[in-house]
Amino acid sequence: MRPRFYVPGLDATAACVPLPDDEAEHLVRVLRLATGAEVEVFDGRGGLWRAEVIESGKRSASIHAIEAIAAAPEVAVPLTLVISILKADKMDDVVRDAVMLGVTGIWPVVSDRSEISLSTVAKSQRVARWQRIAVSSTKQCGRAVVPVVAPAQGLASYLNEPTSSVRLLCVEPVGPPLMGGRVLPVQAVGKPESAHVIVGPEGGWAPAELSAAFAAGVVPVSLGGRTLRADAAPLVALAALLTTWSEL
């Protein structure tokens, strides 16, 4: 398998394309590739090319795109994961695996029972870290589209944003009353044009959050009769939906 490098805004017609600093460092100092090595480069928007290293210095590297090649197929249903922010290592794992499953975006939110505040997320630059993980996961799974990790926001702010996507809220098998709303088994969710999958924190959704979500038109969805860990639930939900929609 050829090494893969991410070059945002790549111009495949250019005779010489410099790699971004972090990608060049990986090529030169980690993989130790020399001039003439064959690699793959992608632009994050779906373009993927076979390429040749034409310059490999101490801290820089450049490539020349040879031909366009096919990337791993994208999911037909644009799927955004809206997730209440988990503890750092758990969130890292969810971002990595959600990208491999094919999400087109990840929207971190802070809910009533989140163990982290918006100010802490901003100060620790976690969104930037999750975006780097999304890039790395895109490389690993063969995709050529890099999902965008959106700035963190409160759940209420997210619910107030207009969207044409179906919003599916994962609810616990045992939890607060659902205001009379019917909970759909995940296998019964019809294939939409696009969807948001909303997953809560370790402590579950607060009753007021459920009321606000239902008022905003979300659809409550059940993942079965067993309570799942907060870091497992988003991946189970995504895999179940994609299987139901014949996308896996």
In the predicted model, is pLDDT for residue 5 greater than 80? yes
For the chain, give the percent of residues with pLDDT over 90. Answer: 83
In the predicted model, is pLDDT for residue 175 greater than 80? no
- At 176, the pLDDT band (50, 70, 90 cuts) reads low
pTM for this predicted structure: 0.92
pLDDT at position 225: 85
Strands in 17-18's sheet, in edge-to-edge order, are: 4-6, 38-42, 48-56, 61-68, 17-18
Taken in order of first residue, the domains within the chain and their CATH numbers are 4-68 (2.40.240.20), 79-244 (3.40.1280.10)
**CB of 76 within 8 A of CB of 216?**
no
For the residues 58-84, what does the mean pLDDT come to? 96
Strands 61-68 and 48-56: what pairing? Answer: antiparallel
Give first-to-last CA distance, the chain, whole Å: 23
In the predicted model, is pLDDT for residue 68 greater than 90? yes
In the predicted model, is pLDDT for residue 77 greater than 70? yes
Residues 6+ apart with CB under 8 A from 153: 107, 108, 109, 110, 118
